[in-house]
Structure 1
């Protein structure tokens, strides 16, 4: 009989209330959200205080936690009102705030005592003495910089009892964590105050310039334009390594991503981590887990800085070797077992004759072909073309509310 491992928290992104509920239903132990101010995702859905209270109630009823990212770098005047903001978060029951700016940390500590503070990855913590410094300042947890490798995590864990959180999946910044000003230069949008234009992901031409007036493109006809973009982080192949470090929280990036992304990624890591922690000695990696991630991946996948300094192989510079095969098509809102009829809310156009896949928590999924569709009035239709329309389809296997349906591209 294997020895059970300490099971780390799975921390999922939640750009809005719907994503929060989906993340927790699909296995997240905690979610991180943004408020209306002080965060780095100004274009995410974000939460007002009423939505936060609904999300907190939903999470706490299911033994999950809610953290608020307030991780902007403040300039003069940016911190105005933050004391009241933090007090409100504390009073409505937020479990912790994720902060990077020492000014906001100090304000939170003095104005909202009792509200736990986690240090954001934006602060680039890369060694145990840094964690010990923040422990003395009253912080419970530090989100490590993405540049920390596996051996460094083990060393940090040995030398401090501060809670450690690290990213295991999602987009990687081409710059050092929390230090990019490319967006500021290219579009006058401050990346460290929530306005990143993701200039590194733009497509560029490259020129050999003989002089100021003469330039020759180095990109040949048919070649892809140049990009500074990094591929995505994915640690699904390395669950034993990352869990055995004793890390406290494993973080998934993506507050701007869809419920298709959130549900799929949380589902996969939940399964892998539970499988490993229940019996480490007999654990084996299942390639189907990675294939599941590819159904929602947008870029190549790599292990970031965990095992080596990323090279050109971890940069997007040519056509992708894999293309996402599925599009999120609908969410199940009801199921009648007597008729085997599922009621769906449409999210992308789908029609009769298309191959689809239903999936739910626990990596339950099955494939079938849509043989017929009925609208809300019981009329047979060939397609479900309108966003959020309610339709019925007959399913080959039982489904539950909040199962999702993909269709093949």
Structure 2
């Protein structure tokens, strides 16, 4: 069984590095134009090139979103952008526009194309149609059940990608026009204003207000981490995490959790999904559900607030004019964020009093006092909305490194020879300096190993090293380090060249618009037979008729 891909969002460079260090197999990101998250920081041309190089050196794939609907007057700019993406070696582009798909297949046949969830592909026939058009992967609509997904996987011959975590749309994937209609900002053009996250009132047909000022359309987030084994066994190619508008710590926490869940399955280890959900909730929480995966509507909505409401942290015991006495339901530290249950009022924890003394940290079960800047009542539960210690931990994940094998020889009257192997790549270099007979201190094997393994500022670490050193020889430390640097740079160049493609300058010319017909044709819709007869008598060319009516014409 091929291991499932873990695909992470990257709305900016910091989120990208966090995703890679947390263990993703691939990232998806957008440029400054043509992406469905126009309000993310995104990447300019220089950032895109750097991001691709950073990821490819660490064996992480890069998929670029080109998934808005494209206007005719934008197409020349799009072609220049596609030429750039092609040349820097992106692994795939994600598209929505069928015209863009056709252009890609005709002009970039070796560049993989993924069908965006904005295409609303929700059945086997849609997947098969796109496969025939040259799409290599389909990102399915989030409204499908696991049973439906499994059926599509088993009966199609292209890759299937499925969202496993993150924000859900209240509308069908790719079919929401609410933002466009209410605010002139189209989700299909990457500019969704998220009106579904606003407050609304529910009114019956008589005008009676049933619910007032609640976030009635705000969905809780998708979370499938408890069901990773079932999703893997369904044969899905890629698990996608939503979140290009989220910060680096959010990305790190979710990727880290799903990486552990996936690896535990393949390695036959027990995975504590409850602990993972608890940690993710400490970074961002507006409630979780399994979406539509199991054939029922999502089990939760975030009616009270669409924002991060955090996790329960303390119960208010008593309130004075200066402080509030709290019983801690979980640990709290100076620098944490705390708020009411709705997340509407809150503050940063600046001072903690325990037994009358200032402390930097207090623990579950402790009775503490906090000077609060907002009103609370006895018995009220306060939430922790920012966990300073967890955020610091996620900001300082160990950098991802790729293992290499080094073989080196130092022989009399010859330069230092270094060979490095990494996957399919092998490089060989010779030092500029020639070895000499040692006058005082000679080079020992352990000394040479130490100097050759000092590569902490690179994308690699030395997994194995073998050196052969003839006795009584000398070479300067500078000469050894320069040879090592040259070898690492050659390996980096070799890896990046493997992905890069030739520069393209694709010709594009917009076809002239057809002249409008002078004659205006009239079309007509009806569900009544008598209207059909009238339309026929009037000479109307096209009639749209409700075919579901059980009548005889």
For Structure 1 versus Structure 2, the TM-score category normalised by the shorter chain is 0.7 to 0.9
Match of 1:303 among 290, 302, 319: 290
Aligned pairs, how many?
333
Is 1:246 aligned to 2:235, yes or no? yes
Provide Cα deviations, 1:251-282, integer angstroms capped at 9, x if missing partner.
00010001110000000000011001112xx6
8 A contact 1:83–1:108 mirrored in 2: no
Partner in structure 2 of residue 391 of structure 1 = none
Is 1:10 aligned to 2:2, yes or no? no
> 1:246 and 1:356, CA in 2 relative to 1: closer, same or farther beyond 3 A?
farther
Partner in structure 1 of residue 301 of structure 2 = 315
Structure-1 separation of matches of 2:69 and 2:305: 35
Partner in structure 2 of residue 217 of structure 1 = 209
Structure-2 separation of matches of 1:347 and 1:188: 38
| Deviation, structure 1 residue 93 | 1.2
Larger relative contact order, structure 1 or 2 (CA cutoff 8 Å, min sep 6): 1
- Find runs of 4+ consecutive structure 1 residues off by over 6 angstroms: 346-350
8 A contact 1:224–1:318 mirrored in 2: no
Partner in structure 2 of residue 235 of structure 1 = 224
Provide Cα deviations, 1:39-70, integer angstroms capped at 9, x if missing partner.
11111011111101111111011110111011
Partner in structure 1 of residue 396 of structure 2 = 402
Structure-2 separation of matches of 1:287 and 1:302: 14
Match of 1:278 among 253, 256, 267: 267
Structure-2 separation of matches of 1:235 and 1:125: 21
Partner in structure 1 of residue 530 of structure 2 = none
Match of 1:131 among 122, 127, 134: 127
8 A contact 2:215–2:305 mirrored in 1: no
Partner in structure 2 of residue 148 of structure 1 = 144
Which secondary structure state, in structure 2, belongs to the residue aligned with residue 81 of structure 1? helix
Partner in structure 2 of residue 184 of structure 1 = 180
Provide Cα deviations, 1:17-43, integer angstroms capped at 9, x if missing partner.
111111001111110001111111111
> 1:298 and 1:80, CA in 2 relative to 1: closer, same or farther beyond 3 A?
farther
Partner in structure 1 of residue 244 of structure 2 = 255
| Deviation, structure 1 residue 103 | 0.7
RMSD between aligned alpha carbons?
2.9
Match of 1:265 among 249, 254, 263: 254
User: Which structure is larger by alpha-carbon Rg, 1 or 2?
Assistant: 2
Provide Cα deviations, 1:213-240, integer angstroms capped at 9, x if missing partner.
xx55333xxx652421111100011011
Is 1:114 aligned to 2:110, yes or no? yes
8 A contact 1:124–1:145 mirrored in 2: yes
Partner in structure 2 of residue 288 of structure 1 = 275
- Scaled by the length of structure 2, the TM-score of the pair is 0.56
User: Structure 2: where are the runs of 5+ without partners?
Assistant: 314-334, 338-347, 352-358, 364-388, 399-553
User: Structure 1: where are the runs of 5+ without partners?
Assistant: 328-345, 358-394, 405-409
Match of 2:167 among 171, 178, 190: 171
> 1:230 and 1:319, CA in 2 relative to 1: closer, same or farther beyond 3 A?
closer
8 A contact 1:87–1:111 mirrored in 2: no
Provide Cα deviations, 1:198-227, integer angstroms capped at 9, x if missing partner.
0111001234575xxxx55333xxx65242
Structure-2 separation of matches of 1:20 and 1:59: 9
Structure-1 separation of matches of 2:89 and 2:12: 17
Partner in structure 2 of residue 60 of structure 1 = 56
Which secondary structure state, in structure 2, belongs to the residue aligned with residue 148 of structure 1? coil
> 1:356 and 1:251, CA in 2 relative to 1: closer, same or farther beyond 3 A?
farther
Match of 1:199 among 181, 186, 195: 195
Which secondary structure state, in structure 2, belongs to the residue aligned with residue 98 of structure 1? strand
> 1:218 and 1:158, CA in 2 relative to 1: closer, same or farther beyond 3 A?
closer
- Scaled by the length of structure 1, the TM-score of the pair is 0.75
